[in-house]
Amino acid sequence: MILIADSGATKTDWCGIYDNGEAVSFKSEGYNPNYITLEYMVADMRKSLPENFPTDEVTNVYFYGSGVTELQYGFVREAVNTIFHNADVFVAMDLLASARALLGNEPGFAAILGTGTNSCTYDGNEITLNIDSLGFILGDEGSGAYMGKRLICDYIRGQMPQSAREVVSQHIKYSGDELIDIIYTKPFPNRFCAQYSKVIGENIGKDEYFYNLVVDSMRKLFENIITHYPDYQKYKFNCVGSVGYAYRDILKSVAAEFGMECGKIIPFPMEGLKEFHCNKQ
C-alpha cells in the first residue's frame, strides 16, 4: 500500500491505495511543523486513522505539507514513521503536490490559494523557482488568511461602509482588543483569520466592499509575487485551493489585467496526486 498525504494549514487529506487499486480516504488536522510539536502530530494522526487501518502494510508514504521546508523534513519523517514503521517516507512542500496534481510531468506554473499562498515554476519533475509568499505574518497575499486579516483590520479600524460592518458584526463576536489578543497570543492565527474569508464569499454579491476586498487581494498577489517570476506571462496560471476555486472568476479577470491566462483551477490536489503516483508505480 502507498499512502499520500496533502497537508494544508487547516486540514490534511490522506489517501491509501492498495496494490489492487482500491483506495481508502480519511482526514486529519493540518500539520504545519512551525506551529506544532512532534507529539501533537503523532497523536492526531493516530486518532484520525480509520478503524483497523493496516499501518504495517504501508510501504511508501508521500507527505506533502504546508510550511514543510527542508529544515522540517526530519521532523515529519520521524512523526510519520512512528506510526507507519515499515514505510519509506518521502517529504516535500505542499507546493510540489500542487505542481504534480496540476501539471503531472509537464512543465509550467502552479500556485496554491487556500488558507495560505504559494507559487512556483516547475520543470515536470521538480520545482525550479519559488518566490516566497512569506507566510501569514509577512505575506500570503490572495489567501483566505490574508483576506480574513484585511477584513478584521478594516473592522477594528472602522474602515468599511456601515452596510458591510452590520454584516460583519453578525459574525465577529469579539471586541478589537479581543481580536488582537487572539491573533497575537493564541495558536493558529492564520486559521482564525481565514475563517472570516467565508463571510466575504457569502456576501460578495450583496455589498461592493466584499467584492473589492477580493479583487484587491488578488491584485496584491500578482503585484507582489507573480509578476516577479521571469517571463511570467508566457505561463498559464494553474491553481489549486479552495480560495482560488471559489473566486476563480475574479482570479481569471485579475490575471488578465496582468497579461496572464488561467489554466487549471481546481479545489483539491488529491485526484491529480493519485494519478501521478499510480502512474509511477
- How far, in Å, CA of 249 to CA of 237, rounded? 13
- How far, in Å, CA of 148 to CA of 64, rounded? 25
**% of the chain exceeding 70 in pLDDT:** 99
CA distances 256 to 16, 55, 259, Å, are 39, 47, 5
The average pLDDT across 115-123 equals 93
Strands lying side by side in the sheet with 60-65: 23-29, 11-17, 2-7, 60-65, 88-93
pLDDT band per the 50, 70, 90 thresholds, residue 94: confident
Residues of the chain with CATH 3.30.420.40: 2-98+270-280
The average pLDDT across 229-238 equals 96
Please identify which residue in the block is written with the cell numbers 487547516.
Answer: 10
- How far, in Å, CA of 115 to CA of 8, rounded? 8
- How far, in Å, CA of 52 to CA of 43, rounded? 16
Is residue 67 pLDDT above 80, yes or no? Answer: no
- Tell me the pTM: 0.83
Residue pLDDT, tens place only, 254-268: 999 999 999 999 999
Tell me, what's the pLDDT at 10?
Answer: 74
- How far, in Å, CA of 16 to CA of 26, rounded? 9
Is residue 35 pLDDT above 80, yes or no? Answer: no
Is residue 97 pLDDT above 70, yes or no? Answer: yes
The average pLDDT across 45-65 equals 92
Architecture of domain 2-98+270-280: 2-Layer Sandwich (3.30)
Number of Cβ within 10 Å of residue 185's Cβ equals: 8
Whether 131 and 139 have beta carbons less than 8 Å apart is answered as no
The average pLDDT across 84-91 equals 93
Residue pLDDT, tens place only, 140-189: 999 999 999 999 999 999 999 999 999 999 999 899 999 999 999 998 88
Is residue 19 pLDDT above 90, yes or no? Answer: no
pLDDT band per the 50, 70, 90 thresholds, residue 281: low
> Is domain 137-215 in CATH 1.10.720.160, yes or no?
yes
Q: With the CA atoms of 49, 46, 29 and 265 taken in that order, what torsion angle do they form, in degrees rounded to the nearest 10?
A: -40
Is residue 279 pLDDT above 80, yes or no? Answer: no
- How far, in Å, CA of 25 to CA of 49, rounded? 10
Q: What is the mean pLDDT of the chain?
A: 92
Is residue 27 pLDDT above 80, yes or no? Answer: yes
For residue 193, give the nearest of 137, 134, 266, 241 by alpha carbon.
137
Residues of the chain with CATH 1.10.720.160: 137-215
Tell me, what's the pLDDT at 11?
Answer: 85
Tell me, what's the pLDDT at 280?
Answer: 66
Three-state SS string over the chain comes to: CEEEEEECCCEEEEEEECCCCCEEEEEEECCCCCCCCHHHHHHHHHHHCCCCCCHHHCCEEEEEECCCCHHHHHHHHHHHHHHCCCCEEEEEEHHHHHHHHHHCCCCEEEEEECCCEEEEEECCCCEEECCCCCHHHHCCCCCHHHHHHHHHHHHHHCCCCHHHHHHHHCCCCCCHHHHHHHHHHCCCHHHHHHCCHHHHHHHCCCCHHHHHHHHHHHHHHHHHCHHHCCCHHHCEEEEECHHHHHCHHHHHHHHHHCCCEEEEEECCCHHHHHHHHHHHC
- How far, in Å, CA of 271 to CA of 168, rounded? 35
